[in-house]
Amino acid sequence: MESGIEIVVKQDWTDLDAARRSMAQRLAMSGITHHEVLQAMATVPRHAFVEPALESQAYEDSSLPIGREQTISKPSVVAKMIQALMQKQKKMGRVLEVGTGCGYQAAVLSLLSEEVYSVERIRSLHDIARANLRPFRISNLRLIFDDGIKGIPQAAPFDGIILAAAGLGIPDPLLEQLAIGGKLIAPVAKSDTQQQLLLIERLSSMRYQRTTMDEVFFVPLQSGTI
């Protein structure tokens, strides 16, 4: 399926558009080299996924609150994780996102994947993401309210899995739902104060290759729905 971001312009976003382009340029200068990732980051309007009072900060490289003690990740972290997941691919196949949040990363992934399934465990955030994404009419994105730790067995296997919360390890159901040759990227807690990105590639039914990447800071990965 083809995806597309269709903006319904209700006011003059000129300054915000310029800020978004500048953000993409900064990402390129900081080591994001994947052309399609940079293009997606330069396309999706991050300001549409934050509270109006925070719009002026939307294109700074900072995480911002979205409610329920959750945040929208830094643009640099979003780009870095997706670039690692894609590596040399121009487009991914079926992708699972665990932790929809406000919907921003799901929108970016929709431009880089054939299909995106995004799961959120907090009902109010699921509803916010649905409302944020509705104006864009993205045909290849499915939002699901459920416990993301379980994955989505009925839609597996996934060519890519990305977690937006940090656990002590990678939940077994997610490893099992990763396609052979597929990649998973997630923040993993090393201690109460330290987290690192972990990239996992499934080499065969029983073999996984793990690569440790940069230190990050994410909200905790939790089970159940609320």
The closest of 142, 153, 148 to 178, measured between CA atoms, is 153
Round the average pLDDT of the chain to a whole number and report it: 93
Residue 7 has pLDDT above 50, yes or no: no
Round to whole Å and give the CA distance between 100 and 173: 18
Output the pLDDT for position 192: 80
Tens-place pLDDT, residues 21-40: 999 999 999 999 999 999 99
Residue 91, in any domain of the structure: yes
Residue 99 has pLDDT above 60, yes or no: yes
The active-site residue, picked from 3, 73, 76, 110, is 73
Tens-place pLDDT, residues 121-144: 999 999 999 999 999 999 999 999
| The dihedral sign for the CA sequence 216, 114, 38, 9 | negative
Round to whole Å and give the CA distance between 22 and 18: 6
* Mean pLDDT value of segment 84-102: 97
The parent domain of residue 175 ranges over 60-216
Residue 5 has pLDDT above 60, yes or no: no
Output the pLDDT for position 14: 60
Residue 13 has pLDDT above 80, yes or no: no
Residue 112, in any domain of the structure: yes
Please, which pLDDT band fits residue 188 given cuts at 50, 70 and 90?
A: very high
Residue 172 has pLDDT above 50, yes or no: yes
Residue 3 has pLDDT above 60, yes or no: no
Residue 168, in any domain of the structure: yes
* Mean pLDDT value of segment 97-111: 98
Residue 82, in any domain of the structure: yes
Output the pLDDT for position 11: 40
Residue 46, in any domain of the structure: no
Residue 163, in any domain of the structure: yes
Which token pair is 168? 């002590």
CB atoms near residue 192 (< 10 Å):
6
Q: Is 73 a catalytic residue?
A: yes
Q: Total domain count for the chain? A: 1
Percent of the chain with pLDDT over 70: 94
Please, which pLDDT band fits residue 10 given cuts at 50, 70 and 90?
A: very low
CB atoms near residue 154 (< 10 Å):
6
Output the pLDDT for position 190: 85
Tens-place pLDDT, residues 56-75: 999 999 999 999 999 999 99
Residue 2, in any domain of the structure: no
User: In CATH, what number is assigned to the domain containing residue 177?
Assistant: 3.40.50.150
Find the farthest-apart pair of alpha carbons in the chain and give their distance in angstroms, rounded: 53
* Mean pLDDT value of segment 184-189: 96
* Mean pLDDT value of segment 79-93: 96
Residue 78, in any domain of the structure: yes
